[in-house]
Amino acid sequence: MILLDKLSVQIPTWRERVKILIKERGDTVIDHVTIEQVYGGMRDIKSLVSDISYVDPAEGIRLRGYSIPEVLKLLPKPIGAEMPYVGGLYYLLVVGEIPTETQALEVEEEWKTRSEIPQNILDCLVSNSPQSHPMTLLSQAVLGLQPGSQFSRRYHEGMKKDEQWLPMLEDSLDLTAKLPILAAFIYNMKYRSGATPGVDPNLDMGANFAHMIGVDDKAYEDVSRLYFILHSDHELGNVSAHVTHLVASSLSDIYFAFSAGLNGLAGPLHGLANQECLGWLLNVHKEFNNVPTKEQLRQYTWDWLNSGRVIPGYGHAVLRVPDPRFTAQFEYAQKHFPEDEILRLAAMVYDIVPQVLREQGKAKNPAPNVDAISGTLQYHYGVREFDFYTVLFGVGRALGVTANAIWARALCQPIERPKSLTTQMLEEFSKK
Ligand code: NMX
Ligand code: MLT
């Protein structure tokens, strides 16, 4: 299998590289930490390593060193498609090289062989309350896959530490193969009262997802590919990636770890902001019975802020410029459906909200993040049940966190355990 072959060659060299770095330069100081940071959600403290992606505050994400425009340009695409194979993106994240079309297709084919979902998991999903949020269902379904973990089985049989990445790779391929199908099942069960069309062996992952939820539209196939690629990774400190990494560091398998990561993604300050954001846009539209004037929108935004709430889709813990993942989706929408009313509203929000946030002077970054626009694309193509949007984020995020998890095992990273202090200790530190 292509990823296994590539990793088997790369891992010994990386292990040696890290070993030498720690041995010869392990005492190098890379940061200092303030009391404000300790109380402030550990913002900017450099304490994690990931070679899968890096977020530059002034530029945005680079996946394996490639910017979003480069990723979208360089990855191989299906014939006639505007957006690349998701399998190619996974190859890039795991291996660190832009794949050929054959290599991208090998990942896509590998996923097809692993796509079957045990019936008991589907039965369990069906037995949920109709009120269950789709993220509750997805997280539960991922946990339902846990008994199939090869990592867990091999660990309990007895496995050497330096072999642990092998079953982590197997589990990661299984999980990323099954997730789009689970997501489609949840969508069809909740909103289309019916069975999920099976995986079409002639379609790639993005197109298959569109097919499975009944949106047989070439443009939506591209939107799906774009969506999963853009949401895949955002370095290691964001809640969903960090939680997954933290849980897996105790040698929990990827099902335990990613289910926990999904629970973090379900928070409104993180992935759930995409459903909140579309809800916000639709509320504005409803309130003014149309796209409002700029003055009306400005006043609405102030009233919202003055009621103590955040504007979903704006601000970021690391970024200090418009998120390039926002820009990629915004440009796609402007190109394909410039007349759409919700898009026209989102464009006006992009104009007004940063001005208001700047005037208010609280948010360190008044610019839009990935969630400010993603729902507008989904809504345009008919996926209008916006409590489903964070599930889409989760399907994408699995690609990045599993790539990180494979490498964390490959480099035998230890259990994560930062130190906590008491307030009194911090007070004493501050007097020194
Ligand atoms: N609307 C109103 N106030 C905001 C916003 C916003 N969009 N962004 C930040 N602020 C406030 C923030 O609540 C804080 O207020 P206070 O001092 O009263 O606690 C102040 O500005 C300083 O916050 P920052 O340091 O700029 O932001 P922080 O790093 O703490 O949080 C977010 C980052 C993303 C949680 C924050 O910007 C936010 O709540 N945004 C809206 C929710 C959102 O879009 N989340 C999705 C992020 C991307 N994702 O997918 O995960
Ligand atoms: C993400 O994609 O995880 C979000 O932008 C949040 C973050 O990076 O902190």
Q: What is the pLDDT of residue 63?
A: 98
Q: What is the per-residue pLDDT for 425?
A: 97
From the list 127, 128, 120, 116, the residue with the least C-alpha distance to 144 is: 120
Please tell me the predicted confidence (pLDDT) of residue 196. 77
The 10 Å Cβ neighbour count of residue 382 is: 12
**CA–centroid distance for 136 within its chain:** 17
How far is residue 47's CA from residue 242's CA, in Å, rounded to a whole number? 11
Chain centre distance of CA 169: 19
Give distance in angstroms: CA of 310 to centre of ligand 1. 7
CA distances from 75 to 1, 5, 81, 370 (A): 20, 20, 12, 21
270 CB under 6 A from ligand 1? yes
* CB-CB neighbours of 295 under 10 Å: 9
Give 317's contacts (C-beta < 8 A, 6+ positions apart): 41, 43, 238
Ligand 1 nearest atom to the CA of residue 317, by list position: 29
DSSP state of 413: P
Tokens of 304: 């919202």
Closest ligand to C-alpha of residue 324 is: 2
Distance from C-alpha of 143 to C-alpha of 121, rounded to nearest angstrom: 9
User: How close is the Cα of 367 to the center of ligand 1, in Å?
Assistant: 11
Strands (E), 33-188: 53-56, 60-63, 66-67
Angstrom CA distances, 7 to 15, 48, 169, 251, stand at 12, 21, 10, 20
- Rg, the chain, Cα only: 22
Looking at residue 93, what is its pLDDT?
98
CA distance 60 to 74: 18
**What pTM value is reported for the model?**
0.98
| Tokens encoding 178 | 């099954």
316 has catalytic annotation: yes
Q: Which of 222, 234, 371, 380 is catalytic?
A: 371
What is the reported pLDDT for 79? 97
Burial class for 327, CB neighbours closer than 10 Å (0-12, 13-18, 19+): middle
Q: Is 310 in the pocket of ligand 1 (CB under 6 A)?
A: yes
| Span from the CA of 399 to the centroid of ligand 2 (angstroms) | 14
pLDDT of residue 11: 98
- Residue 197, φ and ψ in degrees, nearest 5: -55, 140
pLDDT tens profile 299-312: 999 999 999 999 99
Q: What is the pLDDT of residue 21?
A: 98
Dihedral angle computed from the Cα positions of residues 345, 346, 349 and 351, in that order, rounded to the nearest 10 degrees? -100
Is 233 designated active site?
no
Got the DSSP string for 176-220?
A: HHHHHHHHHHHHHHHHS-SPPPPP-TTS-HHHHHHHHTT---HHH
Ranges of residues in the chain whose predicted pLDDT is under 70: none
Say which of 270, 303, 323, 387 is annotated catalytic.
270
Q: How far apart are CA 267 and CA 283, in angstroms?
A: 20
Residue in this structure with the two tokens 């949007």, named with its chain if needed: 389
